[in-house]
Amino acid sequence: MLTTLFALLYYVAFAIFVGGVAYRIWEYWNTPKPANIPTTPAPTTRLGVAWRMFKEVLFFESLWKGNKWIWIFAQLFHASLWLIIIRHARYFLDPVPTIVVLAQPFGKYAGLTFVLGALGLLARRMFVPRVRYISAPSDYLMLLLFIGIGFSGLMMTFVNHTDIVAVKAFFLGLMTFNWQPLPSTLPLLVHLGLVAIWMIIFPFSKLLHAPGIFFSPTRNMPDNPREKFQPVPWLPPVDQVEYDPPHGS
């Protein structure tokens, strides 16, 4: 029963996540960038843009200029998330790749820093008046969701060990359409339930910032409007226009 429920939940969540994000990317991709509008000074070449993007995505370069506290908490949060994702790959891959094995010991503690980062961001949201002003209920809930995911995960790692072999069997079973029973411990069910919610809301929420940053015109365009002619797609070409008549002089 529980196994069936979670199996179906995960199929649905996964479909929404992948389909939704793919759809959004398709949308962004197909929306024109009618003018060359990088925030300057900006690199003038594609390679330069790749470097700028690399620094933004990994090191949050702009955020560093903007606010050191947010940067610290955001880095804690996102760097931990990377480690956690790598660590969790062992539930889906058999055999487990070396890099995932190497990440194990760090991944374990990344759970702690992940929750810490989220708590820091939550504290800012609650106690910095400017940030409180711009926060909607969904912004708090989003952080609580992450804290919930992190906390339930930590419970399993440090307090109430789960039968991870069975968990792995469950997920491998999902992937091969050969369902295996899911251990029914509370932290695990909470953990998996929240992760499914996260996947479902992803394509409809600000979580889109993750794929979105790569499409941001102020960051991903090389600064070359003079060098390269980039016409506005919906305006007629210049040889088909009418000019304003000269003024009587």
Partner 1 sequence: MSELEKNPEAAAEELPPEALEDPLYFDPEPKEGASAHIRSFPAAPEFMEPLGYPGERPENWKEVALNKMKDLRGKFRSFRLFLDICVKCGACTDKCHYYMGTADPRNMPVGRQDLLRSVYRRYFTLPGKWFPSLVGARDLTEEVLDEWYTYYFQCSECRRCSVYCPYGIDTAEITMAAREILDSVGYGMKYTNEIITKVFKVGNNLGLPKPALESTLEDLEEEIEDDTGVKVRLPLDEPADILLVTPSADFFAEPHIDGLIGYAKVFHATGAKWTLSSYASEAANFAMFIGSYENMRRIALRIRKAAIDLGVKRIIIGECGHAWRAAYQFLNTLAGPFDFLDPNYPVPQHICEYTWDAIQKGQLKFDKSQNDWIKLTFHDSCNVARASRMGDYPGGQFDIPRNILKAVCNHYYDMPEGTIKEETLCCGGGGGLLTDDLMELRKKGGSPRMKALKQVAEEYGVNKMAAICAICKTQFSKIMPEFGFGMDDIMSVHQLVSNAIILPGSEQEKELMEQEEKEEAADAAE
Which residues sit at the interface with partner 1, rule CB under 8 A?
A: 24, 27-28, 31-37, 39-44, 56, 60, 62-63, 65-67, 70, 74, 121, 124-125, 128-131, 133-139, 141, 201, 204-206, 208-209, 212-213, 215-219, 223, 225-227, 229-232, 234-235, 238, 241, 243-244, 246-247, 249
Closer of 2 and 15 to partner 1 (Cβ): 15
Closer of 193 and 217 to partner 1 (Cβ): 217
- H and E: helices and strands count for the chain: 11, 0
Closer of 21 and 166 to partner 1 (Cβ): 21
Shortest Cβ distance from residue 75 to partner 1 (Å)? Answer: 11
Q: Cα(73)–Cα(164) distance, rounded to whole angstroms?
A: 30
Q: Cα(146)–Cα(113) distance, rounded to whole angstroms?
A: 12
Closer of 177 and 243 to partner 1 (Cβ): 243
Shortest Cβ distance from residue 148 to partner 1 (Å)? Answer: 17
Shortest Cβ distance from residue 196 to partner 1 (Å)? Answer: 17
Closer of 34 and 97 to partner 1 (Cβ): 34
Q: Cα(15)–Cα(90) distance, rounded to whole angstroms?
A: 21
Closer of 95 and 245 to partner 1 (Cβ): 245
| Cβ(52)–Cβ(219) below 8 Å | yes
Per residue, what are the HEC states of 177-234? CCCCCCCCCHHHHHHHHHHHHHHHHHHHCHHHHHHHHHHCHHHHCCCCCCCCCCCCCC
Q: Cα(106)–Cα(77) distance, rounded to whole angstroms?
A: 14
User: Residues 6 or more apart from 203 whose CB is under 8 A from it?
Assistant: 16, 17, 19, 20, 21, 23, 24
Q: If we measure between CA atoms, which residue out of 197, 238, 205 comes closest to residue 136?
A: 205
Distance from chain centroid for Cα 124: 20
